[in-house]
Structure 1
Amino acid sequence: MEKGLKIYLLLYLTVYFLVVFLWPAYRLYRRTGINPITFDQADTAHNYIGRVMKCILVLSAGMVLLFVFGEEGYRYLIPIAYFTSGVWTVLGLIMVHTALVWIVVSQYQMGDSWRIGIDRDSMSELVTRGVFSLSRNPIFLGMIMTMAGLFLILPNALSFCLAVVAYVLIQIQIRLEEAFLEERYGGQYRSYQALTPRLVVMPGCRR
């Protein structure tokens, strides 16, 4: 089973980076001439989050590659024995695949409004239809599911730390984007905010 999991994770990693980052960025740039990656070198909280998230993606990919090609080295990541059963692995696989489909659908429904980060230079539509009627941040929700699922598939100290740090940074980025969207769209965004949860509906939590 482990050999099959290694091959499968390698394929998944390739597909994930292709369909979540490379292809949609290329497609948007070819169609509109807009670079969807909005992070630059300025010393801001927004750009700092972008740099750390990039490191998280690289480390996550490196961890998968170490699991696939460097079994001896992978042991130094301190595997967590409690989560090494097949049940947790299957749950993790379900989560990462659900997340991938969810992210791709969200990106498709965003159309030309899709960006990585906050775009202050171009005006785009506020998307509230489809999955955006269920969550204001469906792509971030998918990213959180991806990191949690990856932890269950490869439960170790590094994957746990990456998942926790990614969750905290995503929560901060969401709030930066909310402030920007309220400033840009005003009452339209506040109405949408009042009706749609930030991520998912949580009893007793603010939307």
Structure 2
Amino acid sequence: MTAWWALALYLIFGALGFGWRSRRQYRDTGSTGFRGINGRPGSLEWIAGVGFIVAIVVGVAAAVLQVSGLLAPVAALTAAPVQVFGAALAVAGIAATLYAQNQMGDSWRIGVDDTETTALVRTGAFGLVRNPIFTAMLVFAAGITLLIPNPVAIAGFVLLVTTIELQVRIVEEPYLTRVHGTDYRSYLATTGRFAPGIGRITT
């Protein structure tokens, strides 16, 4: 049953976090906000983009495999309190993702276009951490992993963490430093990367 819940939550997350948000972006700006995968094939930038997509596919596959009975969860993580906590985390992750996306306004993007300059958002959730959308996505993914704690789901979560780290460190932070210069360097020095106070950078 929990695997069915995981699938339903993935569907809700995809429909709202990607589908609805890109539709709203298109309505407001004439652009969906999707900028594709950066870098040449095989580069760290490219690996980050492709890996993010693969991690999502692996997470969905983990739920499908568990629903079909082809994959069993790790027994030690199947206690009801753990799975209730996982469901709560997943729902909170969806809500936090939508909230942070909304705070980005017209600056919301998936991927980076080096020819484009958007406003640097530093208020609201972005005043607490530099990447609240990614933080919220990781909370969602952690919750899903607790709902379906099978080896494939765990591997997918590890891959997601790795690729988000690469995307932020290798693609987004260098881009934002080039575009916003001193303002972004100040932001790096005062605001944590994914959690308040953690990952601040002084350059």
TM-score by length of 2: 0.89
Q: Give the letter for the 1:171 counterpart.
A: E
CA pair 139-206 structure 1, distance change in 2 beyond 3 A: closer
CA pair 8-206 structure 1, distance change in 2 beyond 3 A: closer
SS in 1 for 2:109: coil
Q: Give the letter for the 1:92 counterpart.
A: G
Q: Give the letter for the 1:45 counterpart.
A: L
Deviates more, 1:94-103 or 1:50-59: 50-59
Residue number among 153, 178, 194 corresponding to 2:173 in the alignment: 178
- Deviation string 1:16-39 (CA, Å, 9 cap, x unpaired) is 111111111122123322242222
C-alpha separation in 1, matches of 2:29 and 2:57: 28
Deviation for aligned residue 1:148: 1.4
What residue is the counterpart of 2:13 in the other structure? 16
Q: Unpaired segments of 5 or more residues in structure 2? A: none
Aligned counterparts, 1:72-151, within 5 A: 73-75=70-72, 79-151=73-145
Aligned counterparts, 1:25-64, within 5 A: 25-40=22-37, 42-43=40-41, 44-64=43-63
SS in 1 for 2:71: helix
C-alpha separation in 2, matches of 1:181 and 1:105: 22
**Number of matched pairs:** 197
What residue is the counterpart of 1:188 in the other structure? 183
What residue is the counterpart of 1:155 in the other structure? 149
C-alpha separation in 1, matches of 2:131 and 2:196: 12
- Deviation string 1:41-68 (CA, Å, 9 cap, x unpaired) is 8424323221121121122122223333
Q: Give the letter for the 1:65 counterpart.
A: V
CA pair 171-10 structure 1, distance change in 2 beyond 3 A: closer
Query: RMSD of the TM alignment (CA)?
Result: 1.8
Deviation for aligned residue 1:139: 0.8
Identity of aligned residues (%): 30
Cα contact 2:145–2:157 (8 A) shared by 1: yes
CA pair 38-129 structure 1, distance change in 2 beyond 3 A: same
Deviates more, 1:35-44 or 1:95-104: 35-44
Cα contact 1:39–1:46 (8 A) shared by 2: no
CA pair 175-156 structure 1, distance change in 2 beyond 3 A: same
